[in-house]
Structure 1
Amino acid sequence: MGIYSKLNRPIIIAEYDPQWPLLFEQERKRIEAVLGNEAIRFEHIGSTAIPGLAAKAAIDIAIGIQRLEMASKYIPKLESLGYIYEPTFEALLPERRFFWKGTPMVHTYHIHMAEVGSPLWVKPIMFRDYLRRHPDEAQRYSELKKSLAERWVNDMDAYVEGKTDFVEGVLEKAAQEAGYTGVV
């Protein structure tokens, strides 16, 4: 069993909903109200942030903080909004803190907390921005996600693994467009 098995639930891909950016903005305001000015930045990331892209209908929110050590004091504040903190994922990505909201079978929001400027902050934004600029690539990603969800409906690890090559390829292209020469 892989790291994502903790999130195993049926993988349901929904067609793009123009309400997703509005739901992000409403939730961002709720989070900002409990965190105050402690969070530096909020970004709508993931597939729900890309117009026209099919997605698991959970809104992904990146919260950028100054230092990851500060994250522990935010946990109770986010839990007060109904978020569940998942420390399990730190084994895979120790530079990120992950939270979800909803029910175990239907997540409505995910929070990805990382230091602003870190790779775990920059990469999802690069990925989002590249697909926004390249709707043809976004369409390819949409079709891949639908195909993987049909094949691996109850296996989140296999679903995530199936997207890896595509995601890494997009990140390489995004880095080239941006003029990055280092490792993405």
Structure 2
Amino acid sequence: MAGSDLAERAPRSQGAASTGQALRWWVSVPPRSVVGFGLLAVLAATPGKGAVMSSTPDDAAPMSDEELQRITVGERTPHNAPVALVDYDPRWPELFPQHAGRVRSTLGERALQAAHVGSTPVPGPCAKPIIDMVLIVADSSAEPAYVPDLEAAGYVLRVGEPDWFAHRLFKGSDPAVNLHVFSSGAAEVDWMLRFRDWLRANDADRDRYARVERELARRVWRHVQHYAEAKTAVIQEIMDRARPPDEARSTGP
């Protein structure tokens, strides 16, 4: 199976994460997966027409083609275009159960938790028209325990990050979905749910996040990963206002 050796190349990496690590998932969607703090510089810039943006924090370069290819299963093609966002669709929360049910019926008790994350479960903001779903299994680095069954059910493994929470990303369709797989106890999942719940409950931060997304999405990016990296500063700003993890913990769909 393509990519099945990912679990053998490095040990499972999990545990407490720094704020920067915890925000990394926003760069992993689509095959993303990490995050820098260069958004203010991006907003201050006035690139010429057709300029390819590659915003990054002062102390980190954008992920190179080679770095992105190393975590990609199959060939990665540069995006070199704006990012397509659409207005909020109230059907998005209704589409999530289709994939959640499909995954649960495929994996049974191996699917410990499934949750709708990202922008599509948050009423109001624009988003890429792709459902983001997080799936928790006992050990995401143990690919033979779940990857073949997910692939048989129509989910295609596209990203493997053995050094970052043993994250795996699958692409699915009907409707389009990014399926993120993590191990039980991965700190990243708490951050994903915390950010989702905070945006659901806070109009001002929800609107600010949507404005920044629209501003950045209009620009041309070599990889969508770089667009995701450029959102790091606004995500960090919002998360700084969110409640402590223990108070904001969520396990709902």
TM-score (norm 1): 0.83
Alpha-carbon RMSD: 2.6
Find the counterpart in structure 2 of residue 143 from structure 1: 211
Structure 2's unaligned 5+ residue stretches are: 1-63, 70-75, 249-253
Aligned to 1:168: 236
Letter of the 2:170 counterpart: F
Residue correspondence of structure 1 range 114-125 to structure 2 within 5 A:
114-125=182-193
Higher relative CO (Cα under 8 Å, sequence separation at least 6) belongs to 2
Partner of 2:97: 25
Does the CA-based 8 Å contact 1:41-1:65 persist in structure 2?
yes
Rounded to whole Å, the distance in 2 between the matches of 1:58 and 1:45 is: 11
Please say if residues 45 and 61 of structure 1, whose CA atoms lie closer than 8 Å, have aligned partners that are also in contact: yes
| More displaced 10-residue stretch of structure 1: 62-71 or 42-51 | 62-71
1:98 aligns with 2:169: yes
Aligned residues: 176
Following superposition, the deviation at residue 94 of structure 1 comes to 4.3
Q: Which structure would you say has the larger Rg? A: 2
Greater than 3 Å deviation, 4+ residue runs: 2-10, 69-72, 175-180
Match of 1:84 in 2: 156
CA distance in 2, matches of 1:164, 1:96: 19
Name structure 1 gaps, 5 residues minimum.
none
- Indicate the SS of the match to 1:63: strand
In the alignment, the residues of structure 1 paired with residue 144 and residue 239 of structure 2 have an alpha-carbon distance, to the nearest angstrom, of 30
Aligned pair in 2 of structure 1 residues 37, 45: CA closer, same or farther (>3 Å)?
same
- In the alignment, which residue of structure 2 is the partner of 1:155? 223
- Matched residues, percent identical? 27
TM-score (norm 2): 0.62
